[in-house]
Amino acid sequence: MTKNSIMTTRELAKYIQLNEKTVIKLAQTGEIPGKKIGNQWRFHLDAIDRYLQEDIVRAPDEDLNMIINTAEDIIPLSKLTNPALIKLDSKVRNIDEVLIELTQMAVNNGITPLKNDLFRQLKRRERMLSTAIGNGVAVPHPRYPSPELFKKQGIVIVRSKTGVKYHAPDNKPVHLFFMTCTPHEFVHLRTLAKISKLLHTPNSKEKIMQAENKKQIIKLLMEFDRDHLFPMGRIKQYD
């Protein structure tokens, strides 16, 4: 994926895993932000990023299902985290402390060997557009995930009962942080869709906030995977 700030129709189609005709149709109807110059469409990467983040977290369940189930192998949320990637009593007080803690947890668990690079990318992403999605939740992630940055997939979960001012769209403190660690942009979008689907589930956020230990969090994720991620007939037993 190119890191240019302006993308062609072909580059955008590759980025969001759609065909070029669909991208053009979405641009013509104003469903995605773009500008037509002559007979060619051009798309600003920052605007597309903002659109994708806001669109996914507000998407109805049926749309989230479509994103989640677009690959042969569906990785359950409960398989993307473990007790070492969860912290329930974080004392972070500001955005930098949140990002430092998330980064260190990823380093400690072998998800990334590039501590400084990850922190810088996380901070740059927050400056560009806050990853807070409202209702006390944020999904920090680097703008350019890559196999070099992340050696394996994972989700780092941090809970702060006091909350952190995080430039959320509803101006509320953020209490739950889900850092998505994925090697590619589309994998990140699918992971974000799974987290959004989880948060759409009634009382899921409240259960995470009230969990007394990490095992309860893992159990909640396993129950979500069982009930929502697998199409009928494809569900498998897992520990």
8-27, pLDDT tens digit by residue?
A: 998 888 776 678 888 898 88
Q: What is the pLDDT of residue 198?
A: 87
State residue 230's pLDDT score. 55
Predicted local confidence at residue 190, as pLDDT: 76
Averaged pLDDT for residues 20-39: 86
The domain 77-229 belongs to what CATH superfamily?
Mannitol-specific EII; Chain A (3.40.930.10)
The structure tokens listed for 38 are: 């002559």
Q: Cβ contacts of residue 3 below 8 Å, gap of 6+?
A: 45, 144
The pTM score is: 0.75
Q: What percent of the chain has pLDDT over 90?
A: 47
For the chain, domain boundaries: 6-57, 77-229
**pLDDT over threshold 50, residue 75:** yes
Distance separating alpha carbons of residues 208 and 88, to the nearest angstrom: 9
List, for residues 56-72, the tens digit of each pLDDT value: 565 555 544 544 555 44
Residue, of 101 and 232, whose pLDDT is higher: 101
Range 207-235 average pLDDT: 81
As a whole number of angstroms, the distance between CA 215 and CA 239 comes to 12
- The label of the residue with tokens 């992403």 reads 125
pLDDT at 225 over 80: yes
Among residues 169, 167, 115, 163, the alpha carbon closest in space to that of 142 is found at 115
Q: What pLDDT shows up at residue 56?
A: 57
Per-residue pLDDT, 29: 82
Residues with Cβ within 8 Å of residue 212, at least 6 apart in sequence: none
Residue 61 phi, psi (nearest 5):
-55, -40
Mean pLDDT of the chain: 83
Structure tokens at 77: 């949320």
Section 104-112 average pLDDT: 97
User: Strand (E) positions, 9-145?
Assistant: 35-37, 40-44, 86-87, 132-134, 137-138
pLDDT at 231 over 50: no
Q: What is the pLDDT of residue 69?
A: 54
Class of domain 6-57: mainly alpha
pLDDT at 4: 53
Q: What does the pLDDT look like over 166-211, one tens digit per residue?
A: 999 899 999 999 999 988 776 777 788 788 888 888 899 999 999 9
- Encode pLDDT of 111-129 as tens digits: 999 999 999 999 998 987 8
